[in-house]
């Protein structure tokens, strides 16, 4: 999925009601496109601060160094510190983020989030935050049709502060066919998260899932 051209103010996603975005990337090959998306964010939302977090498997596809330069912030690795720390990273992330997106979200990460697991700083942040959380799954062939995935999406859709962006058909690098599923375009996910943010701020009823 390639970042698309956009100019500030031309879509709903360009009028974000938040200025601090926590962006978690997991171990899908489409994480390699993250630098292009960060460049798009910087050009269309210059006031938006982006804190990136990479799971260990995401580091196979994108480097922290590249994201450091693009976000002007130190990219965090989604693992518990081995050395004693003065502050819990998930507490600071929860307090800082006005919105959270998981982009892309692997099958495994989506399942762990839906099951309420909190075995990494980003998962614990996503479980504890009151801010809107957007999830953009990226799935292998058959993933979108699996009973487990559909159950996880249904579970996430019951959460008042969570929205799941339906994945889009994509070319599988393994089968060579259009039977894989890529994360929805980031502007679409941001638009859904922005709408959810406004509904939560206004105290309106739970939104419908984007899945």
Paired sense of beta strands 162-164 and 76-77, if any: unpaired
One pLDDT digit (tens) per residue for the chain, 211 residues: 445 444 444 454 458 999 999 999 999 999 999 999 999 999 999 999 999 999 999 999 999 999 999 999 999 999 998 888 888 999 999 999 999 999 999 999 999 999 999 999 999 999 999 999 999 999 999 999 999 999 999 999 999 999 999 999 999 888 999 999 999 999 999 999 999 999 999 987 665 544 4
Burial of 17 (0-12, 13-18, 19+ CB in 10 A): middle
Q: Domains along the chain?
A: 20-203 (3.40.50.1950)
- Which candidate, 107, 108, 95, places its Cα nearest to that of 20? 95
Quote the tokens at residue 192: 């859904």
Neighbours of 211 (CB within 10 A): 19
The pLDDT of residue 207 is: 53
> How far does CA 85 lie from the centroid of its chain?
26
The pLDDT of residue 5 is: 47
The pLDDT of residue 86 is: 83
The pLDDT of residue 83 is: 83
The pLDDT of residue 32 is: 96
Please report, for residues 50, 97, 155, 162, the alpha-carbon distance to residue 19 in angstroms, rounded to integers and kept in the order given.
8, 9, 28, 18
pTM: 0.90
């Amino acid at each position: 999925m390639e970042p698309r051209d956009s100019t500030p103010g031309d879509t709903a996603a360009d009028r974000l009601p938040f200025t601090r975005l926590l962006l978690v990337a997991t171990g899908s090959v489409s994480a390699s496109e993250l630098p292009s998306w960060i460049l798009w964010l910087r050009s269309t939302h210059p006031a938006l601060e982006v804190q990136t977090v990479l799971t260990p498997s995401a580091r196979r596809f994108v480097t922290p160094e590249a994201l450091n330069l693009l976000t002007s912030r130190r990219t965090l690795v989604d693992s518990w510190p081995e050395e004693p720390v003065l502050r819990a990273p998930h507490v600071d992330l929860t307090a800082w983020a006005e919105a959270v997106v998981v982009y892309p979200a692997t099958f495994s990460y989506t399942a762990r989030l839906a099951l309420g697991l909190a075995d990494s700083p980003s998962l614990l942040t996503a479980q504890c935050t009151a801010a809107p959380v957007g999830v953009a799954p990226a799935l292998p062939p058959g993933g979108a049709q699996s009973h487990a995935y559909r159950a996880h999406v249904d579970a996430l859709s019951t959460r008042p502060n969570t929205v799941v962006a339906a994945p889009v058909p994509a070319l599988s690098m393994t089968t060579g066919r259009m039977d894989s599923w890529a994360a929805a375009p980031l502007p679409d996910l941001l638009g859904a998260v922005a709408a959810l943010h406004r509904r939560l701020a206004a105290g309106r009823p739970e939104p419908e899932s984007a899945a």
